[in-house]
Amino acid sequence: MNEADVKRMMVRSVKDKGGYARRLEDSYGVGIYDLILIPFGLPVFMAEVKMVKHSTFGPTLRQHVELERINYVAFESGHAIPIMIGYYDGIFYFSEPKMVIIPKDCFSVTTSKMPFHDQLVQYYHSRRK
């Protein structure tokens, strides 16, 4: 599965559960994150998706700046959540934005049997504890 296939599947999973999801495609929009995900009844997730190809993954410098801006203005309210999502071999890795992310330090349900939407909801609840 390539990155476009993964994003398509993520969007479909959220929409299938009654949420809103949209891919943001702009080859001239430097630093723009990949997806807006709004699971029904939850805040907006502004997500950058990366295929995990090595032992770490992370955003570009400009993507990191954009995600940190979102975090700065929305942290207190929790209405918008910037998120990095890594994908490798059927498994999603959820993390707050950092330049270097190690998959073993991420939230992950380590199964491809659970729909992406449900994994995202679990991540949301895990970070509220």
Residue 23: strand, helix, or coil: strand
pLDDT digits (tens, 9 = 90+) for 11-66: 999 999 999 999 997 767 778 899 999 999 999 999 999 999 999 999 999 999 99
Rounded to whole angstroms, how far apart are CA atoms 27 and 80?
24
Per-residue confidence (pLDDT) for residue 34, from 0 to 100: 93
> Is this prediction's pTM over 0.85?
yes
| pLDDT at residue 78 is higher than 90 | no
Residue type, 58: G
pLDDT digits (tens, 9 = 90+) for 80-129: 999 999 999 999 999 999 999 999 999 998 777 899 999 999 999 998 76
Q: Delineate the domains of the chain, giving CATH numbers in brackets.
A: 3-127 (3.40.1350.10)
Is the four-CA dihedral 92, 57, 125, 46 of positive or negative sign?
Answer: negative
Phi, psi of 114 (to 5 degrees): -85, 130
Rounded to whole angstroms, how far apart are CA atoms 77 and 28?
30
